[in-house]
Chains A and B, each alone.
Chain A
Amino acid sequence: MKITLTVNGDDYPLDVEPRRILADVLREDCRLTGTHLGCEHGVCGACTVLVDGKAVRSCLMLAVQCDGRSVRTVEGLAGPDGEPHPLQRAFSAEHALQCGFCTPGFLMVAAGALEADPTIGDDPERVHGLVESNICRCTGYEPIRRAIMRAAAESAFADPSGGGEEPAAGGRPEF
């Protein structure tokens, strides 16, 4: 089946079998291997990407469901000039990764939430809820929580309006 995925702003015209999951198509067809498969049944969240700005498990979604939609992966987190996303800097600073396999999933869950609402850091419970959605086996989660809080604080600072505007769906972060 012929589809076009827009991944990190680039168009990928593809011919894919309808049964292929989004994660495999991103990894094998688009050669964007930053998205990792940790469980292939939607539990661990390592494969989380943003589809039209919303976090999805790319192991539970078929690539053909994303025809014409905008997909954002960890490769698309940094700014156009390569400037790291605040989450990337915060994850490093807080030692929120060790082996790094689950990391792209946590980054994308957090990026989706933070871009939908830059004030999320005002409510630690919401941040905790984000961290609860994925599995990490190395860090014990607390550094991930701190990293998201750190990036959220930075984002809120960079966005004094308090995030009143609706962010562009799947767009680049406003940093």
Chain B
Amino acid sequence: MEQWARREDRRLLSGRGRFVADVAVPGCLDAVFVRSRIAHGVVRDVDCAAAREVPGVVGVWSAADLSGLPACAHAAARLQDLPPVPHTLLAKLSTAEAVAGREWPALAKDRVRYAGEAVAVVVGEDRYRAEDGAAEVAVRIDPLPAVVTPSAAADDSVLLFDGRSNTAFRGEAGTPIDETVWQEAAAVVEARYRQQLLMPTPMECRTILAVPEQDGRLTVWSGHQMPHRLRSELAALLGMPVDRIRVVVPDTGGAFGSKSAAFPEFVTVVYLAVMLGRPVRWIEDRLESMTAATRGRGQDQRVRLAADADGHLLAYELQIDADVGAYPHLGVGLPMQTAWMATGPYATPRVHASVRSVLTNTMVTYPYRGAGRPEATIALERSMDLLARRLGLDPAELRRRNFIPADDVPYQTPTGRCYDSGNYAAALDLALETIGYDTWRAEQTRRRHDPYALPLGIGLSCYVERSGGEPGGLHDFAGIEAHEDGTIIARCGAASSGQSHETTFPALVAATLGVDESRVRLIEGDTDAQPEGLGSFASRSAQVDGAALHHVSALLIDLARERAADLWGMPVEEVEWSDGSVHHIRDGSAAMDVAELVKATGPLSVDDRFESGMGFPFGAHAAVAEVDPELGTVRVLRLVVVDDCGVVLNPAIVRGQAFGSAVQGIGQALYEGIPYGDDGVPLLAGGLLDYLLPTATEVPPIEVKETRTPSPITPLGAKGAGESGCIGTPAAIVNAVADALQIADPGLLQMPLTPDVVWRAARATKYEGAR
């Protein structure tokens, strides 16, 4: 194994990985969805008759047809009609109030509310046959006016749900700030920022394969972050007991937050498998994913930031109009993540953030790597640069004057978070030193006196994020078993979609037990093998599941000591554990490896639930960018990311995630965005040629550094890693471009900073004192 850096590598590098689309099930049908090309409209007719005549097509159904299906072929399920899409209560992503009266049908019945919403499903002997059938479905939809931005939707002139406001949720964090604070402050800056909608775009799109088994159980394969949640949601939808469903997550080709729900297509596929008594799968293709997979971000923000004449922050106000898409089921409460994190790393005495979540005719918004924290960081960090300029202070100096001192942590923020750990100044100092801040400032000054030099800017971004989850969802389940052959099986509720759990967790367990790594094997992503679990989201796997495995390993040691004490007739205090063996503290002859102990005394296994606190990783990112005012192009010359996720379980893997995450952050800053036509239809006919993911061409020199401030929230001390780049990097890059262009109106630089945006900004009025 030593020739492979990760246990996953051998199979993934030789074509022997197993993703859902690779699972061969005899007689499996392929599902294809017929989707609305119209963003908002009344469904007049979905005629499936011709499609049913297509050779190889097994069935075609609109929502209306499905209610006419004969009684369920599957014994365990009790179903009348296609159930609606469930909503997400976890982390308050949605609420019962928001979804009441706003049903999300798995197949649209009488109204479509986003382009790409499914109106019919075709199953065929293979994907080609099913596509043939889909091409024959005749859909007639009468268009209604569409609204695709929260500001356009908020006035309720076009309603998505008749008789109900488009505003589906309101919330706030902190206390409203008295107007006198703004009036009396020495400096106040105001700005508006757009956090554009993004596509998470894992390289493997969504997948589900539902197999009704002979014994009446249902096996569901899915590339998914939360197998146990999927199991319970499907059980509820199908009216089946939870233990009659097995969810298996095989290799998963990336997720970035976007693969943790039960989506409309999942509901339909599982329903059909159960009704038909046949295996059915849906392997989403890229075109579908770009049309109908969840989006991330989507906020229109207004900010006010006030300071005294010395640059001490007095107050920060953030107002969010969030675009949550056409249905409130998955992310209507997601913008609260931004509100709760509005304070950032600064000791601002007054912070108030308010959220208005507005339904629009776009696909639903849901967590995407960063999930609310990029939006908080970008708004605050862009505003910090505006304030520094207003006060004539160096942006680094303004930040230093306002950081929450390391000695004040744990720190209760005005927006309701309690930071567990933090040394924000140390992270910034390391970032400045690494990038060579003073040298670049000198180069900037030189260029400003050289009429032929391209303008250059330096951008900083200091962030605090949150990891582990929200109260009620900060736990997970883990188990450990010692076997007679010496093998140690570790189990947990996490599910990897590329984060190397198979490598990292066995190493952690082996280190805790003092055994060779090769003895430890991880099982996760199978609800039969690990009956309870929460999953991998909110950067929680190392923090929560790592700590849970650490915890059950310690329990296994205690149990082994008790067993040995019984066996040898000694007090347990006199039995010690070291290097995978129990032995008497003095009598060297009484010693046995845990495998022998199992042989002598029977199976040794421990299961437990472990609960973590909330972790608050942090860091500082710095970018140097050069702008060509004639071409509108941005060239990032250097990016330094300093992240602090506490105790690191596997440095190479954490660095790899930090690097990849930073590249996704560059994507938000400079390239990625979804253009919409006036009719509300995304203008993405060219697929990934229209939605520009960063390629190697766009990757600047990036240096990844770390500080390590262990978290007190678990004995392991690990906080979340992997989302840092999406959170910290965008503002650093935008600030660098703003610094290069010295424009007076920050509203002109809205992401993505395409050549068009930058070219226009380069022609705008400069701020006072610019040169």
A positions within 8 Å CB-CB of B: 17, 19-20, 24, 27-28, 31-41, 43-44, 46, 73-75, 77-78, 84, 88-89, 91-93, 95, 97-104, 107, 128, 131-132, 134-145
Cα distance A144–B254 in the bound complex, in angstroms: 17
15 further A-B pairs in the complex, CB-CB below 8 A; given A92-B5, A100-B13: A39-B687, A40-B285, A75-B16, A84-B3, A93-B5, A95-B653, A98-B254, A98-B498, A99-B202, A99-B253, A101-B19, A102-B203, A104-B15, A137-B201, A142-B659
B498 and A28 form a contact (CB under 8 A): no
B688 and A39 form a contact (CB under 8 A): yes
Taking the closest CB of chain B, its distance from the CB of A103, in whole angstroms, is 6
Closest chain B residue to A87, Cβ basis: B13
A73 and B688 form a contact (CB under 8 A): no
B15 and A34 form a contact (CB under 8 A): yes
Contact of B17 among A37, A88, A91, A100 (CB under 8 A): A100
With a cutoff of 8 Å between Cβ atoms, the chain B residues found around residue A140 in the complex are 659-663, 699, 702
9 contacts between A and B (CB under 8 A): A36-B19, A36-B21, A43-B688, A91-B13, A98-B254, A101-B19, A138-B203, A138-B254, A140-B660
Known: A44-B688, A135-B203, A137-B202. A101 touches B253 (CB 8 A): yes
Cα distance A95–B664 in the bound complex, in angstroms: 18
Cα distance A95–B696 in the bound complex, in angstroms: 16
Nearest 7 pairs between A and B by C-beta?
A: A34-B15, A99-B498, A101-B253, A100-B12, A33-B22, A140-B663, A74-B15
Taking the closest CB of chain B, its distance from the CB of A87, in whole angstroms, is 8
Closest chain A residue to B204, Cβ basis: A101
Contact of B286 among A41, A93, A101 (CB under 8 A): A41
Cα distance A91–B664 in the bound complex, in angstroms: 21
A73 and B12 form a contact (CB under 8 A): no
Known: A88-B13, A100-B17, A137-B202. A132 touches B660 (CB 8 A): no
Cα distance A33–B556 in the bound complex, in angstroms: 40
Taking the closest CB of chain A, its distance from the CB of B299, in whole angstroms, is 23
Cα distance A122–B47 in the bound complex, in angstroms: 61
Q: Count contacts between A and B, CB distance < 8 Å.
A: 168
With a cutoff of 8 Å between Cβ atoms, the chain B residues found around residue A32 in the complex are 15
Contact of B254 among A40, A101, A128, A141 (CB under 8 A): A101
Cα distance A20–B132 in the bound complex, in angstroms: 13
Question: 8 Å CB contacts to A: which residues of B12-35?
Answer: 12-19, 21-22, 24
A137 and B286 form a contact (CB under 8 A): no
B251 and A137 form a contact (CB under 8 A): no
Cα distance A139–B8 in the bound complex, in angstroms: 15
Taking the closest CB of chain A, its distance from the CB of B312, in whole angstroms, is 37
Known: A37-B285, A88-B13. A46 touches B203 (CB 8 A): yes
Cα distance A165–B18 in the bound complex, in angstroms: 37
With a cutoff of 8 Å between Cβ atoms, the chain A residues found around residue B287 in the complex are 40-41
Cα distance A78–B11 in the bound complex, in angstroms: 12
A99 and B695 form a contact (CB under 8 A): no
Known: A31-B24, A40-B286, A92-B3. A141 touches B663 (CB 8 A): yes
With a cutoff of 8 Å between Cβ atoms, the chain A residues found around residue B697 in the complex are 132
B16 and A34 form a contact (CB under 8 A): yes
With a cutoff of 8 Å between Cβ atoms, the chain B residues found around residue A131 in the complex are 696
The answer to whether the Cβ of B126 comes within 8 Å of any Cβ in the partner chain is yes
With a cutoff of 8 Å between Cβ atoms, the chain B residues found around residue A102 in the complex are 203, 253
B699 and A107 form a contact (CB under 8 A): no
A35 and B688 form a contact (CB under 8 A): no
Cα distance A35–B689 in the bound complex, in angstroms: 22
Known: A137-B201, A138-B498. A99 touches B14 (CB 8 A): no
With a cutoff of 8 Å between Cβ atoms, the chain B residues found around residue A100 in the complex are 8-9, 12-13, 17, 251, 253, 498
The answer to whether the Cβ of B656 comes within 8 Å of any Cβ in the partner chain is yes
B128 and A17 form a contact (CB under 8 A): yes
A98 and B3 form a contact (CB under 8 A): no
Contact of A128 among B3, B256, B663, B696 (CB under 8 A): B696
Cα distance A107–B693 in the bound complex, in angstroms: 20
The answer to whether the Cβ of B140 comes within 8 Å of any Cβ in the partner chain is no
Contact of B4 among A33, A34, A92 (CB under 8 A): A92
Taking the closest CB of chain A, its distance from the CB of B441, in whole angstroms, is 27
Taking the closest CB of chain A, its distance from the CB of B231, in whole angstroms, is 22
With a cutoff of 8 Å between Cβ atoms, the chain B residues found around residue A40 in the complex are 285-287
B9 and A143 form a contact (CB under 8 A): no
The answer to whether the Cβ of B442 comes within 8 Å of any Cβ in the partner chain is no
Taking the closest CB of chain B, its distance from the CB of A143, in whole angstroms, is 7
B688 and A135 form a contact (CB under 8 A): yes
Cα distance A131–B696 in the bound complex, in angstroms: 6
Cα distance A1–B498 in the bound complex, in angstroms: 39
Cα distance A88–B285 in the bound complex, in angstroms: 27
Closest chain B residue to A130, Cβ basis: B696
Closest chain A residue to B499, Cβ basis: A98
Taking the closest CB of chain B, its distance from the CB of A25, in whole angstroms, is 11
Cα distance A34–B204 in the bound complex, in angstroms: 13
With a cutoff of 8 Å between Cβ atoms, the chain A residues found around residue B256 in the complex are 137
The answer to whether the Cβ of B709 comes within 8 Å of any Cβ in the partner chain is no
Question: 8 Å CB contacts to A: which residues of B249-303?
Answer: 251-254, 256, 285-287
Cα distance A142–B15 in the bound complex, in angstroms: 22
With a cutoff of 8 Å between Cβ atoms, the chain B residues found around residue A103 in the complex are 12-13
The answer to whether the Cβ of B62 comes within 8 Å of any Cβ in the partner chain is no
Cα distance A143–B177 in the bound complex, in angstroms: 48
Closest chain B residue to A92, Cβ basis: B9
The answer to whether the Cβ of B309 comes within 8 Å of any Cβ in the partner chain is no
With a cutoff of 8 Å between Cβ atoms, the chain B residues found around residue A43 in the complex are 687-689
A44 and B128 form a contact (CB under 8 A): no
B22 and A41 form a contact (CB under 8 A): no
A38 and B9 form a contact (CB under 8 A): no
Contact of B656 among A88, A128, A135, A139 (CB under 8 A): A139
